[in-house]
Amino acid sequence: GENVEQHPSTLSVQEGDSAVIKCTYSDSASNYFPWYKQELGKRPQLIIDIRSNVGEKKDQRIAVTLNKTAKHFSLHITETQPEDSAVYFCAASKRGYGGSQGNLIFGKGTKLSVKP
């Protein structure tokens, strides 16, 4: 089955710097890669996602890149702010295949700390 590895497990940056979180996946048939942000004590919330037919997607200070050949995708946060401090999870799934194959497989998370 699919396996998602996420690095680093913790990341500390100064406010205004950029942060990059990387994930690799094992199943070449995976085609949907969402990123979730979880603030302390709160529920995970989707912040951005990318499909396998796209190499990069941006939403203001957040971008995600996908390298299908290498089977890895990354989250980039520019001009970090203290409110970006949270745990970030990547995930992968095979949408369109039906049944359990559409289920999300999550990475173990990255705890991002942005220091003022």
> Using CB under 8 A as the criterion, which residues of the chain lie in contact with other proteins when the complex forms?
6, 9, 32, 34, 42-46, 49, 51, 89, 95-104, 106-109
- Mind giving me the DSSP string for 22-53? EEEES-TT--EEEEEEE-TTS--EEEEEEETT
Specify the residue, 3 or 18, whose C-beta has the smaller distance to other proteins.
3
Match 């095979």 to its residue by tokens.
Answer: 94
User: Rounded to the nearest 5°, which phi and psi values hold at 70?
Assistant: -85, -10
Q: Which is nearer to other proteins, 23 or 77 (CB)?
A: 23
Number of H-type helices and E-type strands within the chain: 0, 11
- In terms of CB distance, is 20 or 32 closer to other proteins? 32
Rounded to a whole number of angstroms, the minimum distance from the CB of residue 56 to other proteins is 17
Smallest gap from Cβ 96 to other proteins, in A, equals 6
Q: How far is the CB of 86 from other proteins (least distance, A)?
A: 14
Closest CA to 80 of 93, 61, 67: 61
